[in-house]
Amino acid sequence: MADRIFTDEELRVGSLRSVDGLAEALEAGDVEAAAGFCRRLRRDVVSMKANYDAWEVSLRDAITQSAGPEAEATAVRALEDPATAPERCADFTDAAERWRTEAREIEAAVRAGDSASALDRARALHEEALHCHDRGMSRVTALLSWLAENEGPDAVEAALGVAMGSDMLGDASFRERAEALMHFTRVHLQPFGLREDDEKLTFLCPVCPSGGRLLREGHYEAPRSGAHVTGPSPLTWGRDELPVYCCHEPVMEKNSIASTGVPLFVVDPSDRLGEEPCPTYLYKNPADIPERFYRRLGLEKPKA
């Protein structure tokens, strides 16, 4: 029996959208907690933009390297067609610095006792950031779809291998890994739940805040017509097909195994993607990760 790492309240607060946490703290009259949520909101939205910007740059570089600069320019022109996907054309060039300034001003309003204005501004910031988020995931899906359709699944896997490469927190404690994954989940700006049991922490979103929402909102149907990677392989978790955006998850798991010997976390995809939740598990003891999560990547579970 493993000891609990988090209290129920820590899990509840960790899964709150930062704007909702701010509203709750203001309602309770807790100025310090409200200020903390202002800072957390700033981290969430700035990290989100940085992540999608870096992902796009990496994928555009991959297209350039595999097919040349003209192909990259053609792919970008196609994804920026306002008649096909207007959300991809919005300009958020200066957003990160604006959001940092706005979040600091919201915190100042909180400390000055102007709760109503602070909450209105925080909600507006959250909504603008959500538009930026949806722009980013739509553009990334279009670039990945170009690679899948023109260069094939190996090019998708190679590009994602670079885009998803990062420090996998191999030396971090379970609490540190869990808090990093909470932040990683919050940057999608959608509600989710957390549940801790003896062996793991489970992240459960009503619908996946990125890949699931893309499916639910028709990004794999005309006119956007996102690609699926077909044929059972590690890139599809051994399934017959997987939406191309979702392929970053098995690549992240493989990268983590290559870096640390075990996956940092594992996603248990629904049989009805976009309609049912896809739980994400963070195991306290890597030895407890079921063998099936290695087999679907074409790997063997390490010896204890």
In a domain, 304, yes or no: no
* 171 confidence band (pLDDT: 50, 70, 90): confident
pLDDT over 90 at 59, yes or no: yes
In a domain, 232, yes or no: yes
If DSSP states are collapsed to H, E and C, what string results for 74-111?
Answer: HHHHHHCCCCCCHHHHCCCCCHHHHHHHHHHHHHHHHH
What integer is the mean pLDDT of 228-254? 96
Q: Residue 207 is part of which domain span?
A: 8-295
Tens of pLDDT, residue by residue over 21-40, are 999 999 999 999 999 999 99
In a domain, 303, yes or no: no
pLDDT over 60 at 168, yes or no: no
* Structure confidence at residue 303 (pLDDT): 84
Type of residue at 163? A
* Structure confidence at residue 172 (pLDDT): 83
283 and 199 in contact (C-beta within 8 Å)? Answer: yes
In a domain, 3, yes or no: no
Count of domains in the chain?
Answer: 1
In a domain, 268, yes or no: yes
Half-sphere exposure for 130 (CA within 13 Å, toward CB) = 15
**Radius of gyration (C-alpha) of the chain in whole angstroms:** 20
Tens of pLDDT, residue by residue over 137-147, are 999 999 999 99
In a domain, 222, yes or no: yes
DSSP state of 238: T
pLDDT over 90 at 45, yes or no: yes
In a domain, 300, yes or no: no
* Structure confidence at residue 289 (pLDDT): 96
* Structure confidence at residue 260 (pLDDT): 87
192 and 203 in contact (C-beta within 8 Å)? Answer: yes
* Structure confidence at residue 269 (pLDDT): 94
* 1 confidence band (pLDDT: 50, 70, 90): very low
For the entire predicted model, the pTM comes to 0.95
Q: What is the mean pLDDT of the chain?
A: 95
